[in-house]
Amino acid sequence: MKIGENIQDSFTFTHEALFGKWVRWIMLAISSLIFPIMYGYTVKIMRGVQPSYEEESFFTLFIDGIKLLVINIVYMIIPLIACAATVGYAVFGIISAGKNFSLDTLLSMAGGLITGLVLTIILAIIFTLLNVIASVRFARTGSIGEAFAIGEIISTIKKIGWVNYIFSLIVLFIVVAVIVIVLTCVEMALNVIPLIGIILGWIISLFTGPYLSILTTRYYSLLYDEGV
């Protein structure tokens, strides 16, 4: 496993991309408000390069970002359908019944709700695992169709190793969660300062977006390379 090396490389890559390059960071922070442009920048990173944002075409970034956004949405369609068909149905049943239901009916609806939630979560995890490799595959090939070559995607994951792959993503999730929690605490502390604290907190959130985006996509790129 290269988890430690990949985490360290991702932090180094992100540091080199942003720190000391404040104009780039500001531009990326502003661009993060327009999701397709920031998505487009991450596509460049998943190609295994350190793009110079200042020299990139906004149009190219926007188009690449739209393509990546479409891929992400498609991969979440099945989990969303499962959620609507199970959780949504159970919630609709509870609302429709109003006060006219027995304990057995309530337990049945609750069981359906829990089952729906579990099924949705499982499907969301499965398709997220596929989507990570699919996104990098799209970035490397430039083809949306390659992002849905499920057989090739699964083959890449097998080469990485399912256990290694899943554990690597869990570690990344923990790292990102720690960063978010720390920054959230900082923002909450700043909120005690009227107005100025809120503004500073918002600025921190704005600049954190590009940092985490670059960090995670660089990590995805390195993880993908283990399977090629």
Q: What is the C-alpha separation between 147 and 166, in angstroms, rounded?
A: 19
pLDDT of residue 46: 92
Domain count, the chain: 1
Identify residue 196 by its one-letter amino acid code.
I
Contact between 157 and 165 under an 8 Å Cβ cutoff? The reply is yes
pLDDT of residue 105: 64
pLDDT at 99 over 80: no
Q: Which residues contact 57 (CB under 8 A, 6 or more apart)?
A: none
State how far Cα 106 lies from the chain centre.
36
pLDDT of residue 108: 67
pTM of the model: 0.87
Domain encompassing residue 111:
3-225
176-209 pLDDT tens trace: 999 999 998 988 888 888 788 888 888 888 899 9
